[in-house]
Structure formats: structure tokens, C-alpha cells
Amino acid sequence: MPTSSSPTPTPHRSPPLSEQLQRVAACVQAVEQGRSLTDSLAALDPFWRPGVQALSFEVLRQLGLARALLSELAPRRPDPAVRALLQTALALLQPPTANDERPSDADIQHPRYNAHTLVNQTVEAAKHQRATQRQAPFINACLRRYLRESEALLEQVRDIPEARWNHPRWWVERLQRDHPAHWQDILMASNRPGPMALRVNRRHLERDAYAERLRQAGMASHPFAEDGLVLDRPQPVDRLPGFAQGDCSVQDAAAQMAAPLLLQDLTVPGRPRVLDACAAPGGKTAHLLERADLDLLALDVDATRCERITDNLRRLGLQGRVVCADAGQPPHWWDGRQFDAILLDAPCTASGIVRRHPDVRWLRRPGDVEQLARVQAGLLEALWPLLRPGGRLVYATCSVFRAEGEEQVQAFLARHTEAARKPAVGHLRPGMGIAGHQFNDNVPGGHDGFYYARIDKAGS
């Protein structure tokens, strides 16, 4: 990252665009080399982080088109740093993605920055980095040519799937097979920013009471389900009334379905014994504890992520046992007592949450789907014996790929005659309303892509 090449600006002045572009290009280069955008942003000085994140998200949502345009402008592949800076500029020269489900005409017609200003600032960024300064004239020539020939160049690449949909070709083709009637809707929704949804801590106050607190703070919101509010405009969490005191959490509408689905009509003597496998960062763990008095065990294989679960529970004033362990290896952590309910939010490609994590589409490889499907199948087999007869397991993934959802569950049911599927929502497409389920069709911005299945074990 180029943070050492220039001092952090003082808080009273805005950071120069050229210096932001340096950092954005470094983030893009890191993604192209297989590193998470989250990790790159975490390494930045906090002063730079919000602006660089916003621009990086925009670039990654347009990266397929930027790659295709660069191939036309520079048939010989430039060095990685030059390539990243050019792709950054070409992406930001496109109309910005909208802040809601329906872009306004103004959003479609006007880029974020004046085109000539953006080109000038990109060249300035190149001049002040060792890896790109000798190529500044080349960068300038490429971008000036794009300004002159943009219409023709866009026409040349419009039929390239990666350029048209801003997802890898294999991803597009998989969605075409998995969702033949809806694949275009999924891709379009995945390229739009998701709304900011909140979950109100019902142990502290009612949802409508918190909505009134938001209104008094100048933040408009709309309700969904029993505990949720979606904000008209995203806000920093430190501006949310009572956030530090545990009155609310940030959680997408789709993720808020897990706890009600697991707990619905769950009646056992005393406190139900519940396992939240693969629980980090703890949003669903907390929601379960906010809704019911439970003997809950939360597992995650990563010690740092377990600390996040503990921190979240502490902020919300909730009690649950957190253990760092591999859910797929019960002999290492299970005490032999069966659970009344198990939530398995299994590791997956995260293909349903790319509107919030736009780097995911560029980090995944075609073989990841099958590899993760094997992990999911292994977890189902390992955890199923831990469920008591008459208990239920909710299987969830934040994926839109059928291999990680419907196909996975159908294969499990075929192996287990004692397993019975109960009504659940199945595959949720990103951005859609859920007619007939817990959310209104008009939830602004809809929700992430997800999959849910509830499986009951025969017996009493």
C-alpha cells in the first residue's frame, strides 16, 4: 500500500483524489493477486479508509468492464501496478452504481467525477509511485484515447460476458444453469449496493420504539419482520443511537431469518440446548439469544473470530458459551449431550453477498464451489448425530449456487431416511422481496442472496 509515500492529511482538509487513487489501485492490485479487500482496508490509516473503501467498491463492481476495455487499449498486458491504476480509472469513468435498487437517470448519465479531472489525477497518482512513474505517459495516452473513443470501445466489448455483467465468465455461466429464469436479475442485483439493515435487541426495547429514536436523530427507517429496520441512508455505527449500549446490531434482512426459523415452535422442558456451528462473527448467535432463553454453544474454528463473537455478546448484554473448535470434529469439543436445535451456517462461496463484498467474485475460482460443497456435506454428516430425535437442524449458506443449497440438501435427505424437510424459504435471490414469507415485498433494497432449509429428525 502506498501509505508511506505521503503523510496523512490533517482532518480539516479533504484528501487529494490522486492520493486516494493510489490507495484504491493498491487495493485492486491486491484483489487481483488473491488477497481480501477487507484485509487491505484494515491496513489503511483510518483517515483514508472510508473514501478508499467507497471507491474500491465502485471499481470492483465495474472491474469486468474495466479489464475488457484495458485489453482493447493495451493488448500487451501492463505490469500489475500499472494495470491496477488503469483499471481503477477506467472503472471510475463509468456511470456509478446506484444507491438503491433503481438507478436514477442522473446516476446513469453522469460519472462520479469529471472525466478530464479523473484522468489528470490518475496521471498524477502514477507520477508519485515508484512502480508506475515511468509509465505515466503511457497511462495518460491510454486514458486520453478512452475519452476520445469511449463509445466505440464500449461497443467492442459489450458482448463479452465479464464486461457486460462484471462477474467472471464461469460465475455467469453457473448462474445461467442454476437459475435459468432469474440469472440476469441476480447479476444486476449483485452489482448494486445493499441497504443498511438493523436488528433491534428486543431484550432492550421494542423495534418501533427504536425506530422513533432513529427518527428523532434524523434517520428515516422502514420496518421488516419482527426485529428489523432498514435505513433510508447508511450511517456510521457510532451515530446509531444506543449502538455501543447494545440496543441494535447491523445485520442483513436475509441473515435475520435464521433465528426465527430455528426457534419457531421449539418447545422443550427448561432451556433448549442449541448449537450455533460456524458462528462467527456472532450475529445469528446474538439474535438467537435476544429472542429466547437458551443453553447455547457457539463454535468457530478461528480464535480471532471467536473473540468477535464474545465481543458482540458482551456489547449486547447476552450470555452464551463460545468455544474455538472445528464443528466438523465433534470428539474434540462435544460433551455427549444431544442438542434440541442446530444452526449450521456453513462455509460457502459467499456468492449471495457480493453486493456488500464486491471482491468475492474476483477472488473465487470455479473449483471453489465443489470444494466447499464437500466441506458442507462433511459438516452435515458430523453434526446430524448430535441432534436429538425430534430436534431440528437449519442449514444455511449465503450462496446463490445450487450446489451449496438445494442440491446439498437433496443429497443429504437421500442419505438419511430419518430426516424430514420442513417448509423454509430455500434459495433467496439478492435484492428480491419475499412474498409470502417474513418480509414485505417493498423492503428497500431487498436482502442478500441466501439459502435456508429446515430438517427435522424423526422421533420424539
- The whole-number pLDDT of residue 432 equals 59
User: pTM, whole model, 2 decimals?
Assistant: 0.90
pLDDT digits (tens, 9 = 90+) for 314-327: 999 999 999 999 99
For the cut 50, the answer to whether the pLDDT of residue 302 exceeds it is: yes
Phi first, then psi: what are they for 36, rounded to 5°?
A: -70, 140
- The whole-number pLDDT of residue 104 equals 34
The candidate with the shortest Cα–Cα distance to 259, out of 232, 296, 233, 307, is: 296
Question: Long-range contacts made by residues 424-428, C-beta under 8 angstroms, separation at least 24?
Answer: 424/261, 424/394, 424/452, 424/453, 424/454, 425/257, 425/450, 425/452, 426/451, 426/452, 426/453, 427/179, 427/400, 427/402, 427/451, 428/254, 428/352, 428/452
Our CA dihedral for 245, 246, 252, 253, rounded to 10 degrees, sits at -120
Instruction: Give 8's pLDDT tier (boundaries 50, 70, 90).
Output: low
- The whole-number pLDDT of residue 406 equals 97
For the cut 70, the answer to whether the pLDDT of residue 252 exceeds it is: yes
Rounded alpha-carbon distances, angstroms, from residue 187 to 20, 382, 407, 429, 448 = 28, 34, 21, 10, 12
For the residues 18-43, what does the mean pLDDT come to?
97
Handedness of CA 72, 74, 76, 82 (dihedral sign): negative
Instruction: Give 424's pLDDT tier (boundaries 50, 70, 90).
Output: confident
Q: Does domain 2-166 have CATH number 1.10.940.10?
A: yes
Rounded alpha-carbon distances, angstroms, from residue 240 to 76, 122, 221 = 49, 36, 12
The candidate with the shortest Cα–Cα distance to 166, out of 304, 413, 358, 452, is: 358
For the cut 80, the answer to whether the pLDDT of residue 103 exceeds it is: no
pLDDT digits (tens, 9 = 90+) for 67-92: 999 999 998 999 999 999 999 999 99
- The whole-number pLDDT of residue 13 equals 60
Phi first, then psi: what are they for 201, rounded to 5°?
A: -75, 100
Give 104 or 289, the one with higher predicted confidence. Answer: 289
Residue 183 near residue 176 (C-beta atoms within 8 A): yes
The reply to whether domains 2-166 and 253-457 share a CATH topology is no
Mean of pLDDT over the chain: 91
Q: What is the 3-state secondary structure (H, E, C) of the chain?
A: CHHHHCCCCCCCCCCCHHHHHHHHHHHHHHHHCCCCHHHHHHCCCCCCHHHHHHHHHHHHHCHHHHHHHHHHHCCCCCCHHHHHHHHHHHHHCCCCCCCCCCCCHHHHHCCCCCHHHHHHHHHHHHHCCCCCHHHHHHHHHHHHHHHHHHHHHHHHHCCCHHHHHCCCHHHHHHHHHHCCCCHHHHHHHHCCCCCCEEEECCCCCCHHHHHHHHHHCCCCEEEECCCEEEECCCCCHHHCCCCCCCCEEECCCCHHHHHHHHHCCCCCCCCCEEEEECCCCCHHHHHHHHHCCCEEEEEECCHHHHHHHHHHHHHHCCCCEEEECCCCCHHHCCCCCCEEEEEEECCCCCCCCCCCCCCHHHHCCHHHHHHHHHHHHHHHHHHHHHEEEEEEEEEEECCCCHHHCHHHHHHHHHHCCCEEEEEEEEEECCCCCCCCCCCCCCCCCCCCCEEEEEEEECCC
Instruction: Give 99's pLDDT tier (boundaries 50, 70, 90).
Output: very low
For the residues 306-321, what does the mean pLDDT come to?
96
- The whole-number pLDDT of residue 107 equals 36
The candidate with the shortest Cα–Cα distance to 403, out of 371, 431, 358, is: 371
Q: Which residue has the cell 419475499?
A: 434
- The whole-number pLDDT of residue 113 equals 83
For the cut 70, the answer to whether the pLDDT of residue 404 exceeds it is: yes
Question: What's the Rg (C-alpha) of the chain?
Answer: 24
**Superfamily in which the 253-457 domain is placed by CATH:** Vaccinia Virus protein VP39 (3.40.50.150)
- pLDDT over 70, % of the chain: 90
For the cut 50, the answer to whether the pLDDT of residue 132 exceeds it is: yes
Catalytic residue among 27, 142, 248, 398: 398
pLDDT digits (tens, 9 = 90+) for 154-213: 999 999 999 999 999 999 999 999 999 999 999 999 999 889 999 999 999 999 999 999
Q: Amino acid identity, residue 345?
A: D
Residue 248 among the catalytic residues:
no
Sorted by where each begins, the domain ranges of the chain are 2-166, 253-457
How far apart CA 61 and CA 76 sit, in angstroms, is 24
- The whole-number pLDDT of residue 4 equals 40
